[in-house]
Amino acid sequence: MITKEQLAQSILDFGTQISKKLEESNERFDKKLEESREDFDKKLEISSQRLDNKIEKYFSKLEKSGEKIDKRLDKIAKLVGNISNNQGDVAEEFFYNSMKSNPSLAGTKYDFIDKNVTRSKNNIQDEYDILLVNGKDIAIIEIKYKAHTNDIYKLVSKKYENFKKLYPEYKDYNHHLVLASFNINEDVIKEALDNDVIILQRKGDIIETIQSA
């Protein structure tokens, strides 16, 4: 017959065994959980690296595409700029060659004609396409392949003001502002006449002069 002490000891031993098995089971679970976490972290790191590589490659391709587009835009800008410069050169040559053998303008004869004149003084610098000069008159001619109303404003407010500072030797001369162009619309002509600017317009091989009354 089992005594109370023996029964109590058996129950205690059984509880100890159960506790030990639970502890071993928890340890195994914790170990597997840790292994799963490490495996998950490793897989997550690999996925993140792959994603970073894909993003880097994408932006690298995007940057290269942007550089190609920038280069193409630069080429287009240079091409347009060269075309504009060439047109300006053609206009300048036409008006200069038309006037150099007989430098006269709006009924006034001139002794000298100068082309592409640049002067600098006290941090002010400007260039004038053509200057016509005699003993008492000077004509300041700005040449544009296609004229705009803004060209009138620039001639009157900027270039002429600079001229007076850069060429004080002509302060007692009669000053004549002139805009010469191959293509001038009515708005430009009106703006010019309102500001006492003489218009020179190409008509075939001759020059038409338009001035205020």
155 membership: H or E segment, kind and range = none
> What is this structure's pTM?
0.60
> 132 and 82, same structural domain?
no
Which pLDDT score, from 0 to 100, does residue 182 have?
A: 87
Same domain as 76, residue 110: no
Where would I find the beta strands (DSSP E) of 75-205?
104-105, 108-109, 112-121, 124-133, 137-146, 174-183, 197-203
For residues 124 and 189, membership in a common domain is answered with yes
Residue 35's domain comprises: 1-101
Element (H, E) at 136: none
**Chosen domain end from 33, 66, 101:** 101
Q: What is the pLDDT of residues 66-80, one digit of tens each?
A: 666 666 656 555 554
Question: So what's the pLDDT on residue 140?
Answer: 96
Which tokens hold the place of 156?
């009157």
**How does pLDDT run across 89-146, given as a tens digit for each residue?**
788 888 898 888 888 888 899 999 999 999 999 999 999 999 999 999 999 999 998 8
95 and 110 share one domain:
no
What's the number of domains the chain is made of? 2
Q: Which two tokens stand for residue 196?
A: 């006492």
Determine the Cα angle at 92 with ends 87 and 97, to 5°. 130
178 touches 142 (CB < 8 A): yes
For residue 7, the model assigns a pLDDT of: 57
User: Does one domain contain both 73 and 160?
Assistant: no
Per-residue pLDDT, 17: 67
Nearest to 175 by CA among 166, 188, 165, 163: 163
Quote the pLDDT of residue 53. 74
C-alpha span between 161 and 165 (Å, rounded): 7
Say if residues 138 and 170 touch (Cβ distance below 8 Å). Answer: yes
Are 13 and 78 in a shared domain? yes
**Residue 190 sits in the same domain as residue 108:** yes
40-58: average pLDDT: 69
Reference 209, options 131, 116, 107; nearest CA is: 107
On whether both 175 and 77 belong to a single domain, the answer is no
pLDDT (0 to 100) of residue 208: 78
